Amino acid sequence: MIKWFIDKDSRVPLYLQLRDLVRYYISTGVIQNNQRLPTVKELSEQLEINSETIRKAYKELEKESLITTKRGRGTFASNHASLKTQTGAPTSVELRYVDSVKELLKKLIQRGVPLEEVRIMVDQALSEVSSDASEQLVVFTECNVSQINEISSLLRSYLGLSVEPVLLNDLRKEVEKISRSKDELLAVLTTGFHMNEVCKALVGLPVKIDFLVTNMSLETRRQLDALDKSARYGFVCRDQESIAFYKDMLREELGLNSSIECCILKEEAKLRDLLESVDILLVSPPVYDDIRRLAPADLRMFNVFDKVDPMSLMVIKDRLLEAI
């Protein structure tokens, strides 16, 4: 069950808190594609805030194409709504470009341009485009080195673009450095866990920010399904906000008979006790490297968000192609 919450004592406007919460849930896969969101009235009553605040947050999310409202049916997550092809297949934008190129070539041939000349023109255009494309790049940012390198490599292969891995602490400095160079920064990408941090780090800079959805790989799920459902499970992440909804979600998804003991990385004393008391440890990507160093060598430990969602890659590729 999704937990909805806002901080009424915060200086951040309530509609922005709600917008960012929905963003976070969508980007981390808690809210799935085409999943129905609460109505304005339902959420207004649950959070005990004005319905106009809910409407304003929903409108912001609609502008970002993260949700869509269907008259008479409700409001739904729509981050993947237009993508129906399989990973590796041409996206809708690519197909439109291919059709445009075909139409142009057809017109050239109909006007009597020799086929060999058309081939030379195409080769020359490809050469020029390839040269230009080498100056376009994407930044991928994260807080842990192993994931930043792994996902950056995946993005290079899938997008066919230069991808520069940058640690979160260095992000603003690196983006400002790129903006002063001849290179064109197409976007800064991150995982859903860091979307709000990235937005804050780059506030005031004219750069596109987007996120990748990560979830549990089939191999990790297979290994966890083979373990004792009554064992003592622990979950460690970076912030209390993540514990609030991942604790119950993981317990339900894995069909555990026992509760999950949780803590965040900064709770040092509690973390030490947890590492000594649990049989199986579940961790989120941002803390995986740190926990791996601290955990006993014989403790079974799993990164439970260890796979980039293929549909999420397609979303990113489609959006980048539209920007080029």
Confidence of residue 106 (pLDDT cuts 50, 70, 90): confident
Contact 28, 214 (CB under 8 A): yes
Q: Domain 134-213+309-323 carries which CATH code?
A: 3.40.50.2300
Contact 238, 286 (CB under 8 A): yes
State the residue for tokens 């109909």: 110
Measured in whole angstroms, the distance separating CA 233 from the mean position of its chain's CA atoms is: 26
Q: Averaged over 78-103, what is the pLDDT?
A: 60
The number of beta carbons lying within 10 Å of the beta carbon of residue 267 is 14
Please provide residue 214's backbone torsions phi and psi, each rounded to the nearest 5 degrees. -115, 145
Q: Please report the pLDDT score of residue 88 as a whole number.
A: 47
Please tell me whether the overall predicted TM-score, pTM, comes out greater than 0.85 for this model: no
Q: Would you call 94 exposed, middle or buried from its count of C-beta atoms within 10 A (0-12, 13-18, 19+)?
A: middle
Contact 247, 236 (CB under 8 A): no
Contact 139, 205 (CB under 8 A): no
Q: How is the chain split into domains, by residue range?
A: 14-77, 92-129, 134-213+309-323, 218-305
Residue 309 per-residue DSSP state:
-
What one-character-per-residue DSSP string does 109-127 give?
Answer: HHTT--HHHHHHHHHHHHH
Residue whose C-alpha is closest to residue 24's, from 221, 191, 247: 191
Q: Would you call 172 exposed, middle or buried from its count of C-beta atoms within 10 A (0-12, 13-18, 19+)?
A: middle
pLDDT reading at 131 higher than 70: no
Residue whose C-alpha is closest to residue 301's, from 227, 213, 203: 227
CB burial of 53-78 (b: ≥16 within 10 Å; e: otherwise) equals bbebbbebbeeeebbbbeeeeebbbb
Q: 5 or 90: whose pLDDT is higher?
A: 5
CATH class of segment(s) 218-305:
alpha beta
pLDDT tens digit sequence for 10-57: 777 888 889 888 887 887 677 888 899 999 999 999 999 999 999 999
Are domains 134-213+309-323 and 218-305 of this chain identical in fold? yes
Q: Angle, to 10 degrees, between the axis of helix 115-133 and the axis of helix 92-110?
A: 150
pLDDT reading at 86 higher than 50: no
Q: Averaged over 218-237, what is the pLDDT?
A: 94
pLDDT winner (highest mean) among 116-125, 164-173, 216-225: 164-173
Q: 95 or 207: whose pLDDT is higher?
A: 207
Q: Angle, to 10 degrees, between the axis of helix 145-159 and the axis of helix 310-323?
A: 60
Distance, first Cα to last Cα, the chain: 39
- Domain 14-77 belongs to what topology? Arc Repressor Mutant, subunit A (1.10.10)
